[in-house]
Amino acid sequence: MEPKRGITVVAVQVGARQVSEDSQVWVWEDSDSLLEIECRGQRGRVSRDTIAFSPVRAPALAELQQLDACFGGAATLFEVEHQDDARYFSIEHCKAHQRRFLRATRGSVAMYQRLTLLDERDDEAPDQIWSRYQARSDNWLNWQGRSL
C-alpha cells in the first residue's frame, strides 16, 4: 500500500515521539477505528479521529455563511479594529453580527489572503492572534472550518 498524507488534528504519541497537532504524517494502514501512521521515522497506531487526510478540502462558502452570513461579502460589511501594514493583516468585525475575523495575507512567492472567523476565546492582542493562526497550515485551517 502506498502511504497517504495526513495531518494530526490533536497531539498524538507515535512510537517514542510526541507529535504536535498540525504535523504532517504518512498514513500506512487504514481501519475502521485505528490508523497506522509514520512521522519522522517513528510508526504507531492512533485513533482515526486524530488524523485528517490531506489535502483537507476548504469549506464551501455556503458552509461558512452558516457560521456568519457576512463571509464572502463586500469589505463594506466589515469594520477594521486593528490594521498591521507591516505584517499584512487586520482584525475586523462584521457590522451586522459583531463577529470578529482575521484577514491575513499568507504565502511568500505566491501570496493570497485568508479570512478566518475568530473564536470567542481569541481575545489576545492582535499580533498574538495573527502569529498563532499564521503558524498553522492551510490544511489545519481548512479542517477547522472557519477560513475562506
Q: Is 69 in the same domain as 131? A: yes
State the pLDDT at residue 70. 94
10 lies in which domain range?
4-53
State the pLDDT at residue 117. 96
pTM of the model: 0.88
Backbone angles phi, psi at 76, to 5 degrees: -70, -15
State the pLDDT at residue 7. 96
Q: Is 84 in the same domain as 124? A: yes
Q: Is 40 in the same domain as 81? A: no
Number of domains into which the chain is organized = 2
Give residue 70's Cα distance to chain centre.
19
Q: Is 73 in the same domain as 49? A: no
Average pLDDT by consecutive 10-residue portion of the chain (148 residues)? 92 92 92 89 93 95 95 93 96 94 92 94 95 95 95
Q: Is 39 in the same domain as 107? A: no
Q: Which residue has the cell 504565502?
A: 107
Q: Is 42 in the same domain as 83? A: no
Burial 108-134 (b: 16+ CB within 10 A, else e): eeeeeebbbbbeeebeeebeebbeebb
